[in-house]
């Protein structure tokens, strides 16, 4: 068999094996456009669409705005898609819109935030991590490393998931913790963290809730303070991972947000085609990324996968 015939046979086999899916799926997240975390989620969504052949639309408000997000969910429901993926940073604000989707018979999967309320709102399952438990694990780890007074940097005030991270961190840390509210402007975060460190010399531990937006500027502020301050962060960025390798940060908490984008779309596509659906929530994290592991995932983080 010559190479041209082989190529034709291979192509035909691939066409037969490839799923002939044309499910319409809409993803609505609360991710802000300037947050690199959500670009990784979107990468997962897009790859799942490519792999399954589903028609997928990704939508998010320009800022952290629950009214705008609920309107996006309502608009998605009106389109009667074969599946809907939502993040749930505020169950009270988004609940009615999500319940409307479920009542209309639209399969809903929640991702990233909302594991505590997803089922009660009608979602079939949740893909993500338990934010409180992840924060508690981080607090326990930092306390075991010698931390005695902590600062939790909340860059998205009103996001219940971030509140749970700080709450879990405080409980796991077991020592005094101050919550520092900021916007998601890295320059502001750096200035506020530096000011907090300068005003309270007892702060020796900083917990940031997003690596790219808050972890990096927090580590920079700690370094410029000239003091021995441990900095850890939720999520990953290539620069923060390098800070871990260089000893400028302690560790990162990886919730594998690529999976949070990919898996719900894949599940809903399989559901539309074959009626298949996992029987429960899928935990995508947490995983602590310390210095011995950070170097291995820097390249993947730079590529928008980790």
Least Cα distance to 295 among 255, 231, 236, 214 occurs for: 236
Q: How far apart are CA 154 and CA 220, in angstroms?
A: 17
User: Looking at per-residue confidence, does 129 or 34 come out higher?
Assistant: 129
Helix or strand run (H / E) with residue 58? strand 55-59
In whole angstroms, give the CA distance from residue 58 to residue 71.
Answer: 14
User: Cα(306)–Cα(298) distance, rounded to whole angstroms?
Assistant: 8
> Given this chain, do its domains 3-128+256-275 and 131-254 carry the same CATH topology?
yes
CA contacts within 13 A on the Cβ side of 139 = 24
Structure tokens at 70: 């609920």
What is the reported pLDDT for 3? Answer: 42
Would you state the pLDDT for residue 10? 40
Show me where the domains of the chain are located: 3-128+256-275, 131-254
- What is the assigned CATH class of domain 131-254? alpha beta
* Euclidean distance between CA atoms 75 and 87, whole angstroms: 16
Residues 134-159: what's their mean pLDDT?
A: 96
| pLDDT tens figures, 271-285 | 999 999 999 999 999
pLDDT of residue 157: 86
| Cα separation, 40 vs 261, whole angstroms | 8
Tell which residue, 173, 174, 197, 192, has the closest CA to residue 182. 192
What is the rounded distance in angstroms from the CA atom of residue 119 to the CA atom of residue 280?
A: 10
Residue appearing with tokens 């010698």: 146
Determine the average pLDDT of the residues in 104-132: 96
List, for residues 22-71, the tens digit of each pLDDT value: 899 999 999 877 788 899 999 999 999 999 999 999 999 988 899 999 99
Question: Which residues face 208 on adjacent strands?
Answer: 153, 233
Give the CATH architecture of domain 3-128+256-275: 3-Layer(aba) Sandwich (3.40)
Q: What confidence tens digit (pLDDT) does each residue in 180-203 have?
A: 999 989 999 999 999 999 999 999
């Amino acid at each position: 068999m010559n190479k041209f015939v082989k190529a034709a046979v291979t192509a035909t086999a691939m066409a037969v094996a490839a799923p002939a899916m044309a499910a319409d799926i809409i993803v609505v997240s609360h991710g802000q456009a300037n947050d690199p975390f959500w670009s990784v989620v979107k990468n997962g969504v897009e790859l799942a669409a490519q792999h399954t052949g589903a028609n997928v639309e990704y939508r998010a408000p320009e800022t952290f705005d629950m009214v705008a997000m609920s309107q996006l969910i309502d608009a998605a429901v009106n389109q009667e898609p074969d599946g809907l993926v939502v993040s749930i940073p505020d169950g009270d604000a988004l609940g009615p819109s999500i319940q409307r989707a479920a009542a209309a018979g639209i399969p809903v999967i929640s991702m990233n935030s909302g594991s505590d309320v997803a089922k009660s709102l009608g979602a079939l399952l949740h893909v993500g991590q338990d934010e409180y438990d992840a924060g508690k694990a981080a607090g326990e780890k930092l306390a075991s490393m010698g931390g005695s007074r902590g600062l939790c940097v909340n860059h998205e005030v009103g996001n219940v998931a971030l509140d749970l991270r700080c709450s879990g961190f405080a409980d796991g840390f077991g020592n005094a913790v101050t919550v520092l509210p900021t916007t998601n402007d890295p320059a502001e975060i750096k200035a506020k963290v530096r000011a907090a460190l300068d005003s309270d010399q007892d702060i020796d531990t900083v917990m940031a809730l997003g690596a790219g937006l808050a972890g990096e500027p927090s580590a920079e502020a700690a370094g410029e303070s000239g003091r021995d301050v441990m900095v850890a962060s939720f999520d990953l960025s290539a620069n923060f991972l390098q800070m871990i390798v260089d000893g400028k940060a302690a560790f990162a908490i990886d919730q594998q947000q690529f999976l949070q984008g990919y898996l719900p779309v894949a599940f809903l596509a399989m559901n539309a085609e074959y009626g298949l659906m996992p029987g429960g929530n899928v935990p995508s994290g947490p995983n602590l990324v310390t210095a011995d592991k950070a170097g291995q995932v820097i390249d993947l983080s730079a590529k928008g996968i980790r």
